[in-house]
A and B are shown apart, each in its own frame.
Chain A
Amino acid sequence: MAKTGIKCFYGVLRMIFSQIFDMINSGIVILDRDLKVVKWNRWMENYSKIPANDVIGKSIIEFYPNLDNAKFKRNVKSVLAFGNFSFFSQKLHKYIFPFKALNTLGVKFDYMQQNCTMGPIRGENNSIEYIYIMVQDVTEVAAYEQKLIEMNIKDGLTGAYNRRYFETRIKEEFARHKRYSRPFSIIMQDIDYFKKVNDTYGHQAGDFILTSFSSSVAGRIRNVDILARYGGEEFCCLLPETNLKSAKLVAEHVRHLVEQSIYKFKNLELKITVSQGVAELNPEMSSHEIMLKRADDALYEAKKTGRNKVIGWEEKNQNT
């Protein structure tokens, strides 16, 4: 009697656990010591599109050759040898099982972002006989994080980088270019008579001009360059690996492009011009502030001498 009672009790337990195993909103895979799949829960079936019956008894590597790497194997060994737990965090690995991601919050991920944990399952005498892998879908969290990072470094209106990000980057670039003495230039840009646009056509038109200007410039510079909104109608470009001559050329292209463009806002056709000051890092500039000041001085000169032009700061200007 007592024996059947216990049997019955274990039967119920098994039923409960196997239901939880399939109901839980996480992937659970159980592997034996040779990495053959022993269990594959419904969540895994659902996202992998591989039915448990197809995968059970076969090596996980056969289905996911991306796991055939030293790191994964090393972690498997440390689980088997020490009863260690291993962690594959989304921050570092993005995912270990390439499952299709649903787009979240407009952030596009190629694959579902996953936090995965691997650990030991013990048999009798505490010996480690199996490995479990738990898979959590963290795509949504990763999307929030990406949004937050973006909001933190970008200007909400124009989509250019914000001033704070610019300051961080110029410090970094400054240090790097000092160390390796590679050329490095910046362009300070100021939209001419911007206040007039605002006063005549209203702030909405002004905002439209800022946004349009920003996308014109962004389309003109390289991927490695950085365009930031420095303040009001003032923008700044960081051009790594670029000397004064090339930077002036870029600025001249921008000047020309902006001068030629007609910005259509509602039924208005707006035209603007831009003044620009260019500076290349040279040994005389002991800090990034001095470099910024030089570009700003050049910009001031461009403004003073008629606007819609590019002035480069050259050492000969120093005495004037």
Chain B
Amino acid sequence: MSHETEPIVSDEEKEILQEIMNIAFGNATADLAEVIDIYVVLSVPNIEILGVGAIPNFIEKSVKVYSEIDVVEQKFWGDFNGSGLLVFPNNAGRELINVLDEGGDVDSFEAKPIDNLEKDILMEIGNILIGACVGKVAELLGTIVTYSPPQVISNDNNNEYSYFIDSFDPNQSAILMKTVFKFKDQDISGLLLLLTNQESIEWLKQALNAFMESYE
């Protein structure tokens, strides 16, 4: 519990981050609706500082309501460095087809099996939601990030899921921003987590202070 005796971010910094997240997520939802016709409601984000080793547990606890989950994971890098995780209940892919495919515009690239279609939909939604939120946070903090391709991990595939869990380095600390998202008019909700790598925490502290100063 070293982070309790020696907090990696001060309460004030945490507050600023919380404020930035509020603004960023608000902008993101507005733009998503306006530009891409995706109507999603994001709850007020909440920020936790955790040892990375505690994250798998944290995810499991947060999504206990669903027995089977799909996680869309996407890394982003730059000054602001970390990963976005979107946790969906297992059957969400099928229902999300309705959110995206307006007017029965079936995929025109090539016909593909339904499993792939679901995966594709999850990845695309993941890519857009994570990108929108991370992008807006980055914008407020005056930086630009690059994204790696998203991947979908199901916890009903044991191998995949345990590789994913093992990929967390337990010796690191992370700032974890958590919000619940819900698709309007659609009974689909899930969790959006943004993890900040330890490497970028120093930069983040500076950026947060710079953000504050610009308002003083």
Contacts and interface: CB of A to CB of B under 8 A. Distances in A.
30 contacts: A68-B108, A69-B109, A70-B101, A74-B36, A74-B100, A74-B124, A77-B36, A78-B35, A78-B127, A78-B131, A81-B132, A82-B28, A82-B128, A82-B132, A82-B136, A83-B139, A83-B144, A84-B127, A84-B135, A86-B127, A87-B127, A87-B150, A89-B149, A92-B116, A93-B110, A94-B110, A96-B109, A117-B149, A119-B146, A119-B147
B119 interface: yes
A82 B33 CA distance: 13
B67 to A, nearest CB: 19
A71 interface: yes
Indicate the size class of the contact surface on chain A: 20 to 34
Contacts of B100: 70-71, 74
A85 to B, nearest CB: 4
B112 interface: yes
Indicate the size class of the contact surface on chain B: 20 to 34
Nearest to A78: B128
Contact of A92 (B112, B131, B132): B112
A74 to B, nearest CB: 5
A244 B110 CA distance: 37
B13 interface: no
B127 A81 contact: no
Contacts of B147: 84-85, 119
Interface of B: 28, 31, 35-36, 100-102, 105, 107-110, 112, 116, 119-120, 123-124, 127-128, 131-132, 135-136, 138-139, 144, 146-147, 149-150
B109 A84 contact: no
A92 B120 CA distance: 7
Given A70-B105, A87-B150, A122-B144, A81 B35 contact: yes
Contact of B128 (A84, A93, A117, A122): A84
B124 to A, nearest CB: 7
A318 interface: no
Nearest to A82: B135
Given A83-B131, A83-B139, A94-B109, 12 more contacts: A66-B108, A70-B102, A74-B128, A75-B124, A81-B132, A82-B132, A82-B136, A84-B128, A86-B127, A87-B149, A93-B109, A119-B146
B144 A71 contact: no
A85 B101 contact: no
Given A71-B124, A87-B149, A78 B132 contact: yes
Contacts of A91: 116
Contacts of A74: 36, 100, 124, 128
A126 interface: yes
Contacts of B35: 77-78, 80-81
Given A70-B102, A71-B100, A87-B150, A82 B110 contact: no
Contacts of B135: 82-84
A244 to B, nearest CB: 30
B36 A69 contact: no
Contacts of A85: 127, 131, 146-147
Nearest to B76: A85
Nearest to B105: A70
Contacts of A95: 109
Interface string A137-172: 000000000000000000000000000000000000
A89 B116 CA distance: 12
Contacts of B110: 93-94
Contact of B105 (A66, A69, A75, A83): A69
